[in-house]
């Protein structure tokens, strides 16, 4: 292994490759900030440039820089204007945006950058050590287990429901799942619930829904209640540093979520989105009572967890790509395309035949993460200044960028009308205290859930797969615990308040 690291280092540490990493990180960060352009689209835009470089290691180093930059850029728009442009940064906005509103935008971005860095770096270390071993484990996951894993992800809704809100959160999740069934699924070749409208044939767009659920209601709230925008400290640079106590608070969270996120990322198809939701849910469930109250209102733990998990999972998704040649996510699928175009065939033989490429990718992950941190920490005060833009300018621009996000993805003006309509619905739902995050989570996981469920049903000709596969049973058991635990805790708290529970 040491020999491999040396090969990787000598490949990666040339002047031109370091320039490529820096350039990639910058491009990724800035384009990633636009909602609607996630890592996947940015990497596919960069592929022609990468291929024209000719050297596979250099091309991969550039793409890795773009990848990490895009992930960080996506978190920025989640934190600053509550507009998550990528599914995996949705969980970042749950606590990142409240922090920004409390005038701690700089600190939130710093925590996000550091958590991303740690998640990515720990992920890269794990990738280096465990890649070959993990590849075989990932193959043990069949559609039945994926279905169960999605159920675990959905049971995360328990994490977003306040007391007495569980039914509302559940209803919103189901509504999200219902919206995911609109359009033509991959499995059935049959348009469902489109009501004959052509534009619904491909279903609702993710970016449209994300903007309608989060960014648009928030912008409308800012318009309706000007005092909301005044109480944020105008993006001042104060509070940029993380105190020692805060560092102590988030360090275990980052460590746990980096490992958990990496393991989820290794599974093909699960990816960064589920890792970030699960990371958030798990951290909330194991936090102490006081800390739990803070989740969703600007908790540093709640911000660090999804960020670390998300980045570690992105690194983890390289395991099946590099060792088996199976892309585990959309982004790695595009990377696979780039690799093949560069005459590199990822698979079990890659480590033997072309070790310099395998190790260059891993080393470029370290460099990408490090460069990102070094570049972004000084930039954070300036990025946070976005919030200091006068309200009369900021709001039209937020609205404009949400619309651009929805439009660029689909190139369809009807999508914009849909955005406005859904945004109004979301605002009314928010008036009545319905949580909106579960709806979006349901929507994101809905199609994956149904596809895997359908596949498992077909393979086992019925529901038998639940009993036949112990891992499925185990995962469904975890899901049940995730849902029951909060209500059990609430019950205990109620009983304790009456002074009964202490006796047991």
Task: Give whichever of 196 and 378 is closer to another protein, judged by the CB atom.
Answer: 196
Q: Could you tell me which residues come within 8 angstroms of residue 229 by beta carbon, excluding any fewer than 6 positions away? A: 222, 391, 394
Q: Are strands 191-192 and 183-184 parallel, antiparallel or unpaired?
A: antiparallel
C-beta of 357: minimal distance to another protein in Å? 28
Task: Give whichever of 280 and 453 is closer to another protein, judged by the CB atom.
Answer: 453
Task: Give whichever of 237 and 388 is closer to another protein, judged by the CB atom.
Answer: 388
Q: Could you tell me which residues come within 8 angstroms of residue 485 by beta carbon, excluding any fewer than 6 positions away? A: 158, 285
C-beta of 177: minimal distance to another protein in Å? 5
By CB neighbour count within 10 A (0-12 exposed, 13-18 middle, 19+ buried), where does 248 fall? Answer: exposed
Two structure tokens written together for 76: 């920025």
Q: What is the DSSP-derived secondary structure letter of residue 128?
A: H
Task: Give whichever of 5 and 51 is closer to another protein, judged by the CB atom.
Answer: 51
Give how far the C-alpha of residue 451 lies from the chain's centroid of Cα atoms, to the nearest Å. 21
Q: What is the DSSP-derived secondary structure letter of residue 191?
A: E
C-beta of 166: minimal distance to another protein in Å? 10
- Cα distances from 142 to residues 68, 154, 277, 326, 451, in angstroms, run 29, 18, 21, 14, 12
C-beta of 430: minimal distance to another protein in Å? 8
Q: Which helix (H) or strand (E) holds 330?
A: helix 330-341
Task: Give whichever of 424 and 495 is closer to another protein, judged by the CB atom.
Answer: 424
Q: What is the four-CA torsion angle of 64, 65, 66, 72, rounded to 10 degrees? A: 110
Spatial separation of the C-alpha atoms in residues 119 and 227, rounded to whole Å: 37
C-beta of 394: minimal distance to another protein in Å? 9
By CB under 8 A, name the binding residues for another protein.
31, 37, 45, 164, 167-168, 170-171, 174-175, 177-178, 181, 185, 187-188, 190, 192-193, 219-221, 223-226, 228, 391-393, 395-397, 399-400, 403-404, 407-408, 411, 413-414, 416-417, 419-420, 423-424, 428-429, 431-434, 450, 453-454, 457-458, 460-462
Q: Could you tell me which residues come within 8 angstroms of residue 201 by beta carbon, excluding any fewer than 6 positions away? A: 183, 184, 191, 194
Task: Give whichever of 85 and 120 is closer to another protein, judged by the CB atom.
Answer: 85
Taking CB atoms within 8 Å and a gap of at least 24, the contacts of 341-345 are 341/47, 341/51, 342/51, 342/54, 342/56, 342/59, 343/56, 344/56
C-beta of 223: minimal distance to another protein in Å? 5
C-beta of 33: minimal distance to another protein in Å? 11
Spatial separation of the C-alpha atoms in residues 476 and 482, rounded to whole Å: 10
C-beta of 185: minimal distance to another protein in Å? 7
- Cα distances from 370 to residues 20, 105, 358, 377, 504, in angstroms, run 14, 22, 19, 11, 51
C-beta of 352: minimal distance to another protein in Å? 38
Helix (H, G, I), strand (E, B) or coil at 39: helix
Task: Give whichever of 228 and 256 is closer to another protein, judged by the CB atom.
Answer: 228
Spatial separation of the C-alpha atoms in residues 145 and 291, rounded to whole Å: 32
C-beta of 316: minimal distance to another protein in Å? 29
By CB neighbour count within 10 A (0-12 exposed, 13-18 middle, 19+ buried), where does 16 fall? Answer: exposed
E strands, 168-291, where? 183-184, 191-192
Task: Give whichever of 428 and 500 is closer to another protein, judged by the CB atom.
Answer: 428
Task: Give whichever of 38 and 320 is closer to another protein, judged by the CB atom.
Answer: 38
Task: Give whichever of 175 and 247 is closer to another protein, judged by the CB atom.
Answer: 175
Task: Give whichever of 145 and 218 is closer to another protein, judged by the CB atom.
Answer: 218
Spatial separation of the C-alpha atoms in residues 236 and 360, rounded to whole Å: 40
Task: Give whichever of 219 and 371 is closer to another protein, judged by the CB atom.
Answer: 219
C-beta of 436: minimal distance to another protein in Å? 12
- Cα distances from 346 to residues 63, 120, 267, 327, 341, in angstroms, run 16, 21, 17, 10, 12
Task: Give whichever of 212 and 253 is closer to another protein, judged by the CB atom.
Answer: 212
C-beta of 151: minimal distance to another protein in Å? 12
Assess contact for 38 and 86: CB atoms under 8 A.
Answer: yes
C-beta of 221: minimal distance to another protein in Å? 6
């Amino acid at each position: 292994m040491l020999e491999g690291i040396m090969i990787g280092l000598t490949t990666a540490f040339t002047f031109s490759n370091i320039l490529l990493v820096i350039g990639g990180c910058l491009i990724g960060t800035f384009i990633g900030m636009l909602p609607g352009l996630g890592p996947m689209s940015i990497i596919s835009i960069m592929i022609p440039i990468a291929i024209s470089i000719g050297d596979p290691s250099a091309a991969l180093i550039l793409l890795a820089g773009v990848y990490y930059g895009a992930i960080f850029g996506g978190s920025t728009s989640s934190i600053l204007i509550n507009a998550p442009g990528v599914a995996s940064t949705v969980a970042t906005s749950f606590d990142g945006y409240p922090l920004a509103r409390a005038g701690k935008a700089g600190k939130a971005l710093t925590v996000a950058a550091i958590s991303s860095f740690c998640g990515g770096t720990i992920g890269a270390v794990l990738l280096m050590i465990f890649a070959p071993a993990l590849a075989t484990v990932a193959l043990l996951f069949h559609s039945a287990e994926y279905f169960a894993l999605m159920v675990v992800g959905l049971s995360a809704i328990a994490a977003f429901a306040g007391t007495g809100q569980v039914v509302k959160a559940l209803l919103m999740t189901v509504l999200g799942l219902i919206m995911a069934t609109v359009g033509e699924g991959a499995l059935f070749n049959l348009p469902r619930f489109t009501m004959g409208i052509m534009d619904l044939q491909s279903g609702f767009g993710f970016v449209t829904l994300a903007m309608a659920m989060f960014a648009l209601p928030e912008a409308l709230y800012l318009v309706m209640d000007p005092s909301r925008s005044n109480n944020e400290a105008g993006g001042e640079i104060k509070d940029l540093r993380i105190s020692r106590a805060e560092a102590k608070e988030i360090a275990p969270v980052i460590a746990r979520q980096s490992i958990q996120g990496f393991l989820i990322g290794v599974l093909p198809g699960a990816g960064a989105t589920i890792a970030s939701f699960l990371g958030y849910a798990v951290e909330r469930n194991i936090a102490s009572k006081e800390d739990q109250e803070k989740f969703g209102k600007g908790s540093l733990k709640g911000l660090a967890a999804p960020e670390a998990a998300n980045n570690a999972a992105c690194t983890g998704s390289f395991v099946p790509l590099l060792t088996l040649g199976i892309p585990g996510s959309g982004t790695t699928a595009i990377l696979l395309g780039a690799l093949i175009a560069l005459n590199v065939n990822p698979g079990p033989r890659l480590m033997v035949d072309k070790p310099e490429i395998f190790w260059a990718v891993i080393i470029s992950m370290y460099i990408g993460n490090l460069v990102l941190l070094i570049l972004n920490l000084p930039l954070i005060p300036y990025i946070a200044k976005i919030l200091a833009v006068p309200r009369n300018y900021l709001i039209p621009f937020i609205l404009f960028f949400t619309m651009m996000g929805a439009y660029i993805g689909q190139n369809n003006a009807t999508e914009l009308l849909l955005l406005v309509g859904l945004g109004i619905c979301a605002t009314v739902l928010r008036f009545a205290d319905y949580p909106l995050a579960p709806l979006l989570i349901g929507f994101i996981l809905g199609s994956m859930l149904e596809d895997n469920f359908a596949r498992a049903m077909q393979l086992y000709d019925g529901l038998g797969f639940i009993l036949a596969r112990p891992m499925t049973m185990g995962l469904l058991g975890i899901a049940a615990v995730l849902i029951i635990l909060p209500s059990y805790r609430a019950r205990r708290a109620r009983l304790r308040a009456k002074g009964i529970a202490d006796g047991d």
